[in-house]
Structure 1
Amino acid sequence: MVSVTSDPANPASVTVDRAIGLDDLPLRPDLRGQKPYGAPQMPVPVALNVNENTHPVPDEVADDIADAVARVLRDVNRYPDREFTELRQGFADYLGHGLAPEQIWAGNGSNEVLQHVLQAFGGPGRTAFGFAPTYSMYSLIARGVGSEWIAGTRGPGFAIDADDAARQVADARPDIVFLCSPNNPTGTPLSLDVIEAVYDATDGIVIVDEAYWEFAPREEQSALTLLEGRPRLAVSRTMSKAFAFAGARVGYLAADPAFIDALRLVRLPYHLSALTQAAATAALRHADTMLHTVEEIVEQRNRMSATLEALGYTVYPSWTNFVLFGGVADPARTWELLRERGILVRDIGIPGHLRVTAGTEEETTAFLEALAEIGN
């Protein structure tokens, strides 16, 4: 029960007394004791903790998006295109590899897309598997639909060996396997032979999460090249990173048309608003402009890696827009000292490590200078 009282002498003053807590509610037993996903959100000058694209959307792109949304507003009294036809065509064109719109799915961020996959192929009595450490939302989404989460292991430097990965998956016999390529929070690349080996080792669904793929070396091949003839394989992407679209919440997935049909069974009606569809479609028209920003981020990432190594930290190879570095004597203390200087990084729970997003040149400089000043 919630008790609300007011002070007669001060009618504007209201006190809310919460008489119950979460443990008093009839929460599902498997959700008790779980922690929600979240990272600190603080008003600091340099926020480099959640792997956002810290570059603002270029004016010409923002103007086109605003115009597209304005046009759609005239008909916002009507439900949006349930099949988001134009947006699916835009994603198919952007991804290439001969993909057709029928092979594309989208949602309000890649997390919703992954949730659709778990709702369709997971659930009570089923299991989901990933190689730890990896993106923490995988286990949260899996548990959210009632699936059991199984954590596999990585080798030295957080790498995954194809034979070892296939053995672990064959032993676990999961219904769904998550492969983060490149991996979050470590930045580790994932070779295609690992994906092939894992796919062959299971009869379940294999999801390759390429949220950071645009930051990988241009000569490398995406898991999209493996989709042909593999109906249980899906490759997910996001517009949050390369397209600086984190606030718009748009993620998408490519797979066999039958796989896409399965996701229709669990999506909410009209789950992508007309405004979201218009904004994302407009942004895709400027892919070349946005990918130029990616090149700037990669430059700062590489600069950050080199400087961290020069400062004596252990730096891991990264194909993403962030860097994981070890050799931090006291991560909590270093995190706090950086925060006091107006800089947010991420303590991801790996002992002796911190993770930092590659920002603009000015943001990267601020971080590196502050860390050098703090020492270890």
Structure 2
Amino acid sequence: MTGIEHLLRPDLRGATAYGAPQLDVPVRLNTNENSYPVPPEVAADLTAAVAAVATDLNRYPDREFTDLRAALAAYLTDTSTDHAVTVGPEQVWAGNGSNEVLQHLVLAFGGPDRTALGFTPAYSMHPIISGSVGTTWVDGLRGQGGTAFDLTAESAVAQVREHRPHLVFLCSPNNPTGTALDLDVVEAVYAAAERAVVVVDEAYAEFARPGTPSALTLLAGRPRLVVTRTMSKAFAFAGGRVGYLAADRALVDALRLVRLPYHLSSPTQAIAVAALRHASTLLGTVEVIKAQRDRIVERLAELGLDPVPSDANFVLFGGLADAAQTWRDLLDRGVLVRDVGIPHYLRVTAGTPAETDAFLGAMAEVAARATDRSAL
């Protein structure tokens, strides 16, 4: 940035852009992607969907992405259980990945002289997005009254009352810990944060263990509550860049004030609708991935490490003498995992059985050194 640093906004000077290593290695388990490729029959339908809109690319796309909102609402609606959820198209918003959806929320309800609160460690883009539009970020704390990464209702409410934020970010399941929130935490935070929009980031909701209810069940009667989701993870659609949210209609309407015109392209809308037609097929890998996740937790514990039980498609594991060195040792063996910046911890995505074999085999080779704190 030589020559222009002084022109940059003061709060951005010296900042580091978000980015995970994109390395050409045999086993990539660092970004929580779904390791399974899009099935050929689904890919064929996606190709046909793009072809169907290609001749109309001289026209702007549907600004209201009407078909996509209807398809997403139908996907979210579930009246088959005791935790019934009914979502209408008018309650749905979408963007180019959930990060754009989160950005719309901060643009609308954050900004200068406003504060956003999250509970660290959590998704690293929440503070980055907040800061990018001048919102003051507050790092809330976990582990108050529970285990190291738990967030209790009592602790969360106390922090909300202390900081009086305009936005509150909750992650369930949380990234990078994989831990899910009890809904009493969401309810308590919502009640305490009387002037705040409360955002529950459920990017990994489809991987949650049985009996883990979604915050979607709390939407009725809570006009300041938002639940964000993504098609990147469970749908194996990270390259499609489609994220979305469900909220009260009035809140969704407010997001039109800050979105760029025609922000969702015609091909994006077309492939997302097509993918949702194949939801059962694309979600068919979820149970296999969950089995690999649980296998990772079990085996890492046998190796003397400290894995965190997970409701996501990844596992955070601790007990490492030197996390950075263990990351390099795994990379030397062709396995890329994520150093999330928590001392003595790394995070690994649950992939295919073969990828899990490779990771666990590599960990078995480095486990003695990885857990030997006398080397420090």
Q: Which runs of 5+ in 1 are unaligned?
A: 1-17
Aligned to 1:8: none
Q: Superposition pairs for residues 196-275 of structure 1, below 5 Å? A: 196-202=187-193, 203-275=195-267
Give the structure 2 partner of residue 281 of structure 1: 273
Percent identity between matched residues is 63
Q: Is residue 168 of structure 2 the alignment partner of residue 180 of structure 1? A: no
Q: Indicate the SS of the match to 1:135.
A: coil
How far off is 1:33 after superposition?
A: 2.2
Greater strand proportion: 1
- Residue number among 146, 167, 181 corresponding to 1:190 in the alignment: 181
Which one is further off, 100-109 or 53-62? 53-62
Question: Which residue of structure 2 lines up, in the alignment, with residue 9 of structure 1?
Answer: none
Bigger Rg, structure 1 or 2: 1
Q: What is the rounded CA distance, in whole Å, between the counterparts of 1:59 and 1:306 in structure 2?
A: 33
Superposed displacement of residue 74, structure 1: 1.6
**Number of the residue aligned with 2:101:** 113
1:335 to 314, 323, 327: 327
1:26 equivalent in structure 2: 7
What is the CA-CA distance between 1:21 and the residue it aligns to? 4.8
Indicate the residue corresponding to 1:157 in structure 2: 148
SS at match of 1:328: coil
2:46 alignment counterpart: 65
Q: What's 2:282 paired with?
A: 290
Structure 1 residue 299, shift from structure 2 partner: 0.7
Q: Is the 8 A contact 1:346 1:356 kept in 2?
A: yes
Residues in 1 aligned to 2:118 and 2:106: alpha-carbon distance in whole angstroms: 13
Q: Pairwise CA RMSD of aligned residues?
A: 1.0
CA contact (8 A) 1:204 1:232 kept: yes
Instruction: Provide Cα deviations, 1:181-205, integer angstroms capped at 9, x if missing partner.
Output: 1100110111100000000011210
Displacement of 1:157 in angstroms is: 2.8
User: Which residue is equivalent to 1:13?
Assistant: none
Of 338, 354, 369 in structure 1, the residue corresponding to residue 361 of structure 2 is 369
The amino acid of 2:287's aligned partner reads E
1:157/1:316 contact within 8 Å kept: no
The equivalent of 1:132 in structure 2 is: 120
| Aligned amino acid, residue 274 of structure 1 | S
- Which aligned runs of 4 or more in structure 1 are off by greater than 4 angstroms? none
When the two structures are superposed, what TM-score results if normalisation uses the length of structure 2? 0.93
1:94-148 Cα shifts (integer Å, max 9, x gaps): 0002111000000000000000000000000100000001111000000000000
1:86 and 2:67 correspond: yes
Deviations 1:201-255 (A, max 9, x none): 1121000000000000243210000000000000000000001111111000000
Question: In 2, are the aligned partners of 1:187 and 1:318 still within 8 Å (CA)?
Answer: yes
Displacement of 1:22 in angstroms is 5.1
Query: Equivalent of 2:133, from 133, 145, 169?
Result: 145
Structure 2 counterpart of 1:15: none
Q: Which deviates more from structure 2 when the two are superposed, residues 87-96 or residues 163-172?
A: 163-172
How far apart are the structure 2 equivalents of 1:65 and 1:367?
Answer: 32
- Separation (CA, whole Å) in 2 of partners of 1:225 and 1:276: 28
Q: What is the TM-score when the length of structure 1 is the normalising length?
A: 0.93
- What do the CA deviations read for 1:277-311 (whole angstroms, capped 9, x no partner)? 00000000111112211111001001111110110
Counterpart CA distance in 1 for 2:91 and 2:351 is 33
1:151 alignment partner AA = D
Note the alpha carbon deviations across 1:75-112, whole angstroms, 9 max, x for none: 11111000000000000000002111000000000000
CA distance in 1, matches of 2:141, 2:226: 22
Q: Compared with structure 1, are the counterparts of its residues 22 and 304 closer, same or farther at alpha carbon in structure 2 (3 Å cutoff)?
A: farther
Q: Deviations over 1:252-274 (max 9, x none)?
A: 00000000011000000000000
Of residues 131, 141, 159 in structure 2, which corresponds to 1:168? Answer: 159
Amino acid at match of 1:323: V
Structure 2 gaps, min length 5: 78-84, 371-376
Query: Quick one: which amino acid aligns to residue 215 of structure 2?
Result: A
